[in-house]
Structure 1
Amino acid sequence: MRAGFLPGDELWAPVGVEAQYEVQVCLPRIQSIKVLDIGKRTELILDESELREQIAWGQLRVRRRGVMLAAPKTNRSPDEDAATLATLRMLSSLDSLRKQRQLSLNKAYITLREQLVAAQAPDLESLPSLSHVYRLWNENTKGLPVRKGNAKKGNRDPKHSDAVRKAVIDSAGLYLKTKSTWTLAATTEYINQQLQAPDWLRNNPDVKEKDRKVSKKYVQRVIREDLHADPEHARMDPQDAIAAKAVAGRTIRAEGLFERIEQDGLHLPWLVRTPYGDSTDVWLVHAIDCYTSMPVGWHLVIGAPRTTSTLACIETILFPKAPRLEALGLNYDFDIYGTPQQIVADNGAENKSDRILKLSRIGIDFVRLKSRHPHHKPFIERLNRSLKSYLQTLPGCTRFDGKDGQRDPAALGDPVMTIEELERWIVRFYFEYWANHPLERLEHSIFIDSENLGSTPLLRHRTLTEKLLRPMPLPISVDAWRSVVFDWHVLPLSRKSGITYDTFEFRGDRLPELIRKFGETEVTVLVDRDDFRVVYVLDADRETLIPLVNTAAVPSTPAYSFVDAKRMLEELRAENVDTGSEALRRDIFNRSAGVATATQKAPKPSKKSATKQASSKQTTKHAREHGAVLRSASNPLPPPEPALGHPPMAGAAERWASVPALAVLSRKPKKDGQ
């Protein structure tokens, strides 16, 4: 039986650290309780029914004689629960005998014992002594728990004295420093040495000898109780702890197709073969639709990702993937692409270019997260982990026991895959495993969505688009994409040199048409930084782009970036410096000015030994050159014919054949009247 309110009961708020009220006396005549407001030190009379209701709904808690009257927070064993139930039944039997026969508790206990002996009941062995029964009876009458459980038993005195505990706290700072080299075992050993030091013993003479040695477990408990609840967090670099120790907040949830796309650059733990050598500096920039968890874009690159890599991945999100899949020898009955509403990426250097900001022109909100906040893009991080784990048995992988870079494939004799073969396996993982693999977050969505949309990414996408007829966002046009990722310049148009940009001249079959339309004036020119072969002039309709081709490029020229093209020219010019010609020119000037010159030998060209660079950097450089070749193959120069909607320009022979005969010009002076 549990008593009602008793004098001395403390009423606590669920989140409070101190009691709010203390019960003074019960007033049953008016069904109220007289309490002391501890904070204000005033007496109040509160309605008993309201207090009971607040206790029932968890808005108040009752603490009686140091025990909080609430459901136990410890997970007790079934044996403890059975023992508690047997004790309550025994007390109930004693109370019934006492009331029915008007007996004292002592007489009721003797009577119950005699009944159990006569019936040879097994409960006789568990019947406590009379003194124990008196204690249980008093506890139950006052509404306190009759059994404290095993967790409440034993010695409650501290294991070590306060002086020893203080010594542990003073020395534990060595262990809690950021990036500390002190281990817990070393810290414990150091503390034990301090406890045996003469100076410490002299200042703490009352400490017993057995109390002068502490265990590693005790040190760890003191650190957690008095210094830091999570010592690992205190020892970590603050920048690393942001993500590693992040507290889960609100759940990130998208509400529609392509509403939120997460994109990330992932270092792939493989040694791959490129046309210019082997490299382990392989990166994958890929993206996932958060509503369906379907991969929607990818781009592999040798070397750290750059802005070009980010834009190349976004391009695969916007446009059909069938040409790339066909090049990889793959074919699927779905091709998911369109214009996303939002793209979420990290704060890497590849995402900070001004070209990324231009995505807003086509309605894409590109969000850069704070540094070291991968937990803010959990969908792509989950895909990263699954991809590496699923494909780690492929040859050339550097993963061992779940950690990248822990094995050397070349030293172990692993066969090496090409970059194209690795990409093929990655795409197959996307569309054959991940797309058809049940995901827990999609399974749990049945409690949120109005109907079951499917537990796999592909099934969810097909349910939305084929069954519920949800529309996919439309893609943008190629010209619109170029207008976003290309640089805009206002440059003069010349009938002789065409467009001059960054020391290169751009002409072509469309130049006469532009001269007729605009004349020799300034026009708007769009330039792709990653392709020096062509620039585009914005037509008068502000939509059509007219290409002009670099005079230094032919259809077989790789699509070098402007930076790489200029670097190649500078390196070539540096190799071809003719110091002899400079000396000759100097001698000519001196002789012309009447200055005597001594015959000097032409200096020999310097032979500087090339610095040997790391093979991986050389491979990255050559891989980027190879990427320029691939870009030129996938994006060939515009043909000599004009774009659709413009009259075709005839060949040279046809143009001259169609020119009408010139009129004969007579040089004789005309007579008057003629």
Structure 2
Amino acid sequence: MDSDRVRIAAQGQLTMTDAAWEQARSRAAVIGALAARRKTRLADADRAAAELGVSRRQVYVLLGKYRHGSGLVTDLAVRRSTGGKGGHRLPEPVEEIIRDLIRRRFLTRQKRSLASLHREIASVCAARGFKAPTRNTVTRRILMLSPVDVGRRREGAEAVRPSQSAGGDVPVIGSVLEQVQIDHTVIDVIVVDERERLPIGRPYLTVAIDVYSRSIVGMVVTLEPPSAVSVGLCLAHANGDKRPWLERLGVEADWPMSGKPKMLYLDNAAEFKSEALRRGCEQHGIGLAYRPPGRPHYGGIVERVIGTAMRKIHELPGTTFSNPTERGQYDSEKMAALTLAELEKWLVLAVAAYHGSVHGTLGQTPTGQWTAGVTATGTPSVSTNPTAFLVDFLPVIRRTLTRTGFVIDHVHYFANALKPWIGRRDSLGPFIIRRDPRDISRVWVLEPDGHHYVEVPYRSISNPAVSVWEHRQALGRLRERGARQVDEAALFRMIEQMRHVTDTAAKMTKRVRRETERRKHAGNAGPAMRASAVPAPPVAPAGTDPTGAPMPRFEQIEEW
């Protein structure tokens, strides 16, 4: 496909001011609830109008946009001019006044009214020479706070106890994808490279599990440490149809679970709090919640799944077990036999076996529970454009457009689609760019109107596709050699030299072998981003490992 013409729908959330984004998000919360009903009664429309501060007619207009759009927050954004840079953004001193007075005046047992709070904010702003915020703006700031925290400070702990889980138990989940938990782990097995079959180390696993059905809805295996990209890839895997991916793996198995989560439940790791993840989830109507500190039972379902999966992993050759004591005299590196691709196939077969096994807590199989949930609530919502969905969760880069396109880390990118913007680039400011670290041969550039992404490839199409890790390694090698200025040609020459050494070495070190496998796996990962042209390997029958041997059953995945 001509990359100059590749345009995918974009959120534009990164180009919206905070105030505009908050307004769109509050609208989506109200209008989304109306859209979920088959009919919208006048009384419901009037309540929504009062809550949003608009007319009944405007409620129906917004409802039409939401239903005929993509169901995204930005479908309900105000499309008129924002007044230029900072047009709707409150000055930071005003934001500070609002935060301070909400904390000192509103969140107290005195329970002052919103009108009283707004009057005091307006008075302080006037005394300091600032334009006062509207009452709706102050209301939105309060709605962004935790309702439980607001209730506790204004009413007391007893008043909010019904809103919290009883006895420290996690609240009951009543439907599929109502809550999905995601977590990472390093897998307790050493894998080997595909060429020499020599050990390259332990890979990482990112898993998403639907709490209602205990089904595994998403999985990513990588040689990269956990990151925001791992989370985005896992979400994209959970959201999409898995049949094309299973065919590419050469595995004959059913994995029908897919759809957009309504709520993600995560721990407090840094990769779960990135800007890309937060805005991407808000855009797609996915709530974010984090485990309360000191409460390990919150989020424990995915950890139990991972823990039991690791015990099954301990039956594979090359396992490291859980600790040195358990490993004993077992030589994990000497016994390592599975490549990363073979391990991924084994995991898929293990997931299929688990989905068909009776779950001790549910009293039926996860597949049966999932099917019952879908029958009760309908087929889960999925993204119609897997590429756009994944792009929404990729890391963000901001760059200024030049006459020759964009320059990112010494690499030039250009497409004919950029030409209309080059003449007025001085008035456009920095562009929002998304980049997949696994393959930096193209990037996605957000159009100035903020509605679509344009795929932009290397300016020099002869340059090979590389990962960001390979790029950084070459850049570091050049600087070690004293290169004061690094240009693109020198960078890719170094990458080619490094690849040549890697590909021709008779006995490679573990680190070099790992880099080689990481490059191969990154190039084949992300089926939503690029279709693979490599013929599928022979299909392994269900219930066997990639070699055709019987696979241990994944019978009891969760132990209480």
What TM-score range do you get, normalising by the shorter chain? 0.5 to 0.7
Please state whether the residue corresponding to 2:361 is helix, strand or coil: helix
- Corresponding residue for residue 258 of structure 1: 177
What's the CA shift for 1:459? 1.0
What's the CA shift for 1:457? 0.7
- Corresponding residue for residue 504 of structure 1: 411
Contact 1:536–1:548 (CA under 8 A) maintained in structure 2: yes
- Corresponding residue for residue 377 of structure 1: 299
What's the CA shift for 1:401? 10
Contact 1:287–1:295 (CA under 8 A) maintained in structure 2: yes
Task: Give runs of aligned pairs for residues 307-326 of structure 1, distance below 5 A.
Answer: 307-326=228-247
Q: What does the per-residue CA deviation read over 1:199-255, in whole Å, with 9 as the maximum and x for residues that have no partner?
A: xxxxxxxxxxxxxxxxxxxxxxxxxxxxxxxxxxxxxxxxxxxxxxxx972244212
Cα distance change on mapping 1:515 and 1:387 into 2, 3 Å: same
The one-letter amino acid of 1:479's match is A
Equivalents in 1 of 2:235, 2:213: separation in Å? 18
Aligned mate of 1:269, from 179, 188, 198: 188
Contact 2:229–2:395 (CA under 8 A) maintained in structure 1: no
- Corresponding residue for residue 321 of structure 2: 399
What's the CA shift for 1:480? 4.6
Equivalents in 2 of 1:469, 1:571: separation in Å? 56
- Corresponding residue for residue 536 of structure 1: 444
- Corresponding residue for residue 524 of structure 2: 630
Cα distance change on mapping 1:457 and 1:577 into 2, 3 Å: closer
Q: Does 1:293 align with 2:201?
A: no
Aligned mate of 1:548, from 456, 464, 469: 456
- Corresponding residue for residue 341 of structure 1: 262
Task: Give runs of aligned pairs for residues 66-465 of structure 1, distance below 5 A.
Answer: 249-275=168-194, 277-358=198-279, 359-370=281-292, 373-399=295-321, 405-406=327-328, 408-410=330-332, 414=335, 416-431=337-352, 433-443=353-363, 455-465=364-374
Contact 1:361–1:484 (CA under 8 A) maintained in structure 2: no
The one-letter amino acid of 2:519's match is E
Contact 2:262–2:285 (CA under 8 A) maintained in structure 1: yes
Q: What does the per-residue CA deviation read over 1:465-489, in whole Å, with 9 as the maximum and x for residues that have no partner?
A: 2x43623123263325424434163
Please state whether the residue corresponding to 1:438 is helix, strand or coil: coil
Contact 1:272–1:416 (CA under 8 A) maintained in structure 2: yes
Cα distance change on mapping 1:307 and 1:273 into 2, 3 Å: same
Q: What does the per-residue CA deviation read over 1:615-645, in whole Å, with 9 as the maximum and x for residues that have no partner?
A: 66555544443344335987459xxxxxxxx
Please state whether the residue corresponding to 2:317 is helix, strand or coil: coil
Aligned mate of 2:471, from 561, 565, 583: 565
What's the CA shift for 1:273? 0.6
What's the CA shift for 1:309? 1.9
What's the CA shift for 1:287? 1.1
The one-letter amino acid of 1:265's match is H
Please state whether the residue corresponding to 2:330 is helix, strand or coil: coil
Q: Which structure has the highest strand share of the two?
A: 1
TM-score, with structure 2 as normaliser: 0.53
The one-letter amino acid of 1:549's match is P
Percent sequence identity over aligned pairs: 18
- Corresponding residue for residue 152 of structure 2: none
Equivalents in 2 of 1:399, 1:501: separation in Å? 42
What's the CA shift for 1:334? 4.5
Contact 1:269–1:404 (CA under 8 A) maintained in structure 2: no
Equivalents in 1 of 2:296, 2:243: separation in Å? 31
Equivalents in 2 of 1:515, 1:340: separation in Å? 40
- Structure 1, gaps ≥5 residues long: 1-246, 444-454, 579-613, 638-674
The one-letter amino acid of 2:319's match is C
Cα distance change on mapping 1:344 and 1:513 into 2, 3 Å: same
Please state whether the residue corresponding to 2:168 is helix, strand or coil: coil
Cα distance change on mapping 1:520 and 1:281 into 2, 3 Å: same
Cα distance change on mapping 1:436 and 1:326 into 2, 3 Å: same
Aligned mate of 1:479, from 378, 388, 391: 388
Equivalents in 2 of 1:421, 1:318: separation in Å? 24
Cα distance change on mapping 1:373 and 1:630 into 2, 3 Å: farther
What's the CA shift for 1:350? 3.2
Contact 1:344–1:366 (CA under 8 A) maintained in structure 2: yes
Cα distance change on mapping 1:328 and 1:533 into 2, 3 Å: same
What's the CA shift for 1:541? 5.7
Equivalents in 2 of 1:514, 1:634: separation in Å? 29
What's the CA shift for 1:456? 1.0
Equivalents in 1 of 2:378, 2:526: separation in Å? 37
Equivalents in 1 of 2:518, 2:471: separation in Å? 12
Equivalents in 1 of 2:323, 2:448: separation in Å? 61
Equivalents in 2 of 1:618, 1:295: separation in Å? 33
Report the more deviating stretch, 282-291 or 362-371.
Answer: 362-371
Q: What does the per-residue CA deviation read over 1:306-335, in whole Å, with 9 as the maximum and x for residues that have no partner?
A: 222222212211222223211221134443
Contact 2:411–2:458 (CA under 8 A) maintained in structure 1: yes
Equivalents in 2 of 1:380, 1:295: separation in Å? 9
Contact 2:188–2:313 (CA under 8 A) maintained in structure 1: no
What's the CA shift for 1:410? 4.2
Number of equivalences: 338
Q: What does the per-residue CA deviation read over 1:63-96, in whole Å, with 9 as the maximum and x for residues that have no partner?
A: xxxxxxxxxxxxxxxxxxxxxxxxxxxxxxxxxx
The one-letter amino acid of 1:572's match is L
- Corresponding residue for residue 169 of structure 1: none
The one-letter amino acid of 1:522's match is L
Equivalents in 2 of 1:256, 1:368: separation in Å? 20
Equivalents in 2 of 1:502, 1:319: separation in Å? 32
Contact 2:170–2:298 (CA under 8 A) maintained in structure 1: no
What's the CA shift for 1:297? 0.7
TM-score, with structure 1 as normaliser: 0.45
Please state whether the residue corresponding to 1:304 is helix, strand or coil: coil
Q: What does the per-residue CA deviation read over 1:399-454, in whole Å, with 9 as the maximum and x for residues that have no partner?
A: 3899764453347x5351111111111111111x21111112212xxxxxxxxxxx
Contact 1:262–1:288 (CA under 8 A) maintained in structure 2: yes
What's the CA shift for 1:264? 1.2
Contact 2:187–2:205 (CA under 8 A) maintained in structure 1: yes
Q: What does the per-residue CA deviation read over 1:100-122, in whole Å, with 9 as the maximum and x for residues that have no partner?
A: xxxxxxxxxxxxxxxxxxxxxxx
The one-letter amino acid of 2:415's match is G
Equivalents in 2 of 1:423, 1:310: separation in Å? 17
Larger RCO, structure (CA 8 Å, separation 6 or more):
2
- Structure 2, gaps ≥5 residues long: 1-165, 485-507, 532-560
Equivalents in 2 of 1:285, 1:403: separation in Å? 26
Alpha-carbon RMSD: 3.6
Please state whether the residue corresponding to 1:510 is helix, strand or coil: helix
The one-letter amino acid of 1:441's match is T
Cα distance change on mapping 1:572 and 1:507 into 2, 3 Å: same
Equivalents in 1 of 2:290, 2:200: separation in Å? 29
The one-letter amino acid of 1:500's match is V
